[in-house]
Every structure is written in C-alpha cells, then in structure tokens.
Structure 1
Amino acid sequence: MDETLERPVVHWKHKVLELLYWRDVRASGLVLGCSLFLLLSLLSCSIISVLSYSSLALLSLTLSFRTYRGVLQAIQKSDEGHPFKRYLAQDIFLSKDVVQRHSDMVLSRINGALKELRRLFLVEDLIDSLKFAAFLWVLTYVGAWFNGLTLLILGLIGAFNGPIVYERHQTQIDQFHFQTEEPGVGSHRATITAKVPWSKIKNPK
C-alpha cells in the first residue's frame, strides 16, 4: 500500500482507539453521549426530524451565546469582537489529496469485501461457507428480535465498554479463552474437507 495512503489510515485508527479506550474521558464521553442521543432519537423520530431539531438546538445555543457576549461587551464597553472569530478565521475545506486518499481506502475495503463475499457464496472453502451460512441463519433470528437501530445502539455501547473491560481483565479473559478453545480444530476441518469430493478440486488460476 502507498505510504501516503497508509499514514492517514493509521492516524484515523489511532484516534478511534483513543476514544474506545477512554484515553481522554471528556472526548470519549462526549462522542458516546452524542452518538447514543442521536440513535435513541432515531428510534422515535425520522432522520430529517432528528437532524432538524439537532441543528436548531445548536443554532439556538450559538445565537444565545453570541447575544450574551454582545450584551456583555456593550455593558463593559469592551472591544473583544465576535466570540467565534477564531473559528470563523479557520479554513474549512477538503483538499483533493485528502478526498483521493480516503476514496482509495474506501474503494480498497469495498473490493476486499466483494472478493470475500464471492469466495463465500461460490464455496471456495466449504468450512468457511458453512460458517457463513450459520452466521446468516443466526442473523435471521437476530433480525426478528431487534431492528437495525437497536443493534447499532448495542454495538456502540459494546464498542465503548468492551475494550476497556478487556484491558482491565486481560489475563482472566485470555485464560478463559484458552481453556474453552477446542483442540484439534484443524484436524477436524481437514477430515471434513477430505470427505467432500469437490473440495479436492483446485481452483483454476
């Protein structure tokens, strides 16, 4: 992979890991709280309503602060200027290089996912395809119990709790994982594959 593409990907992953591991409690709490609020709002309202109300709340907050600082400056007869002048002076734009790098990254992930789906659906490896079928079968029951937004909420909570729990109890979790890991999985896999006639046929290059 190109070094210019790898650099922003690593930086992005590092930022996400810092949030998930609560390196900055304020930032992690803010991201988790806002994300949960947004997802819980989508359970009862449409996305247009949620975005409209959220934008209106943000605009009301900035308007109130702008008015408050204006009145305060008038009373104190100070000339501090616009309270958001520091942010207004910052450039907000997407350069072509940034868009190109992220587009290449997304395209690479999509192509990888398509190749993996082709491999599973066309049964390149019998065991992997059977595992995938079992996973899809479980998803049919999950879909009957939960909707997509509920799964996103549970996944978000798990993403912000799982890493920190594992970090604090890594020794016990790893020990439990090794104890429950079944030995001889590779030999069973080879035995099952050997009994299937078409699994011995090599894929044409």
Structure 2
Amino acid sequence: MATSSDSDNEIIGTRAKLFGHEKPIHQVLGGGKVADMLLWRNRNVSAALLVAMTVIWLLFEIFEYNFVTLLCHISITTMLVLFIWSTVADILKWKGPQIPDIILQESFFHDLASILHKRFNQLLPMLLHISSGIDLPFFLLIIVSLYILSVIGSYFNFVNLLYIGFLCMQTLPIVYERYEEEINNLVGDMIIVLRKSYRSFNKNYLNKIPRGPVKQKKTR
C-alpha cells in the first residue's frame, strides 16, 4: 500500500519542465531568424524593431494619432523627402534615390508564417488535452490565469495590450534563456504544490462525496 511519502516522491520525481530537457528555447521558437530576433542574437534588428514598435505606440497612444491620418502623414513625408532628394541629385549630378525591390527578406515572413502555423497546430491538441481534465490542477491554473488576464485586459485598450505583448515577446524568451534552470525549478515547485493541494483536496473532500452504485455490464 502506497504511503503519503511515496506519493510525494512520485510528484517530486515528475517535476515539470517548460520545454523539456531536449529542447532549447531557440528551437522552441522555430530556430530561424524570428527566434534570433526574439533572443537578441541580432541586436541591431531586435533594437530597431523595439524602437519602431515604441514609436508606433507613442504615436497612437500618447499623441492619439488616427491610423489613416498617420498613414497619410508618413506617405506625405516620404514623398517630400524623395522629391527633395531627387531634385538635389539632379542639380549636383548625384545618384538619385533607389528603393530596393525587396526591403525585407522573404525568408523572414516564411519563418514567421511557419512558426505561427506550427504553434497553432500544437495549441489545439493542447487545449483539448487540458480541457479533458486529465491534469485537474493544471486545468484550474489555466482557468485562473485566463481570468486574471481578462481582468487585466479590461484596464487596457487594444493598442496597449499589443504593445505589452510585444514587450513580453522581446524580453521573456531571453530572460528564460539566461535563467532557464532557476525558472524551471520555480515552475516545477509551483506545479508540485498545486498537485499536493489537489491530492489533499481530493482525499479530504471529493472522495467523501457519496456516489451511486456502479452497474456492472452483463456478460453472456
């Protein structure tokens, strides 16, 4: 007969890992240029994207720009700069402005689409597995987390939520990569506490709920 210490040892022996021992965070993020950008492997691209998103957030949230107005102002400014550049180049016999055919590499969008497609295909079976109630403590943790997120979302508009989400994407992966062991231990301890609490609750309350007799199937 299993004792409570045996159960505790079993729980501790199944300490949770966020991505498993065999999968580094770079591989989890796709292992391509998008992963390099999120993990700041290419600091210039990551910093430029962070500055660009911050400027967009300031324009929409602080200066309260309308999207159509902002788009028109950007187009007007770009056309004026190109006009002045072309005029000066003709006068001074310089080389005129030339816009490259491909500003961003096509592989970047392919990598991004591939990661989104892969994560979406992984998300649906994961949601089905969680919703089935096989791991009830984890199911309750997800429910509480989504509720907390919904409460937080009621205090922020959509633009702020997008910017906060982008900041999390730019910071959380690299923080996890640098402090992977500490974060895994912290998450594992939280899962262990939840599982112990659920087992105690199940033993003291759920198992004491009276149930009807189980009907046995008739065999011929």
TM-score (norm 2): 0.56
Deviation per residue, 1:171-191 (Å, 9 max, x gap) = 9x949x76x956943751672
Partner of 1:147: 157
User: Residue 38 of structure 2 contacts residue 46 of structure 2 at CA under 8 Å; is this kept in 1?
Assistant: no
Partner of 1:107: 117
Partner of 2:71: 51
Distance change (3 Å), C-alpha of 1:57 and 1:166:
farther
Find 1:83's aligned residue among 93, 97, 119: 97
User: Aligned equivalents of 1:37 and 1:162: distance in 2?
Assistant: 21
The structure having more radius of gyration, on CA atoms, is: 2
2:199 alignment partner AA = T
Unaligned stretches of 5+ residues in structure 1: 1-5, 74-79, 198-205
User: Aligned equivalents of 1:72 and 1:119: distance in 2?
Assistant: 68
Distance change (3 Å), C-alpha of 1:160 and 1:71:
farther
Q: Where does 1:1-205 land on structure 2 (aligned, <5 Å)?
A: 9-17=30-38, 20=40, 23-24=43-44, 27-43=45-61, 44-73=64-93, 80-84=94-98, 87-88=99-100, 90=101, 105-160=115-170, 174=182, 181=189, 184-185=192-193, 188=196, 191=199, 195=203
User: Aligned equivalents of 1:103 and 1:29: distance in 2?
Assistant: 22
**3-state SS of 1:145 partner:** coil
User: Going by fraction, where is helix more abundant, 1 or 2?
Assistant: 1
Q: CA deviation at 1:38?
A: 1.5
TM-score (norm 1): 0.59
**3-state SS of 1:10 partner:** coil
Distance change (3 Å), C-alpha of 1:36 and 1:123:
same
User: Residue 123 of structure 1 contacts residue 129 of structure 1 at CA under 8 Å; is this kept in 2?
Assistant: yes
User: Aligned equivalents of 1:103 and 1:14: distance in 2?
Assistant: 13
1:49 alignment partner AA = T
User: Aligned equivalents of 2:161 and 2:31: distance in 1?
Assistant: 27
Unaligned stretches of 5+ residues in structure 2: 1-26, 208-220
**3-state SS of 1:35 partner:** helix
User: Aligned equivalents of 1:123 and 1:184: distance in 2?
Assistant: 17
1:13 alignment partner AA = V
User: Aligned equivalents of 1:111 and 1:163: distance in 2?
Assistant: 21
Distance change (3 Å), C-alpha of 1:146 and 1:14:
closer
User: Residue 22 of structure 1 contacts residue 28 of structure 1 at CA under 8 Å; is this kept in 2?
Assistant: yes
Distance change (3 Å), C-alpha of 1:165 and 1:119:
closer
Q: CA deviation at 1:83?
A: 3.4
Distance change (3 Å), C-alpha of 1:160 and 1:183:
closer
User: Aligned equivalents of 2:69 and 2:122: distance in 1?
Assistant: 36
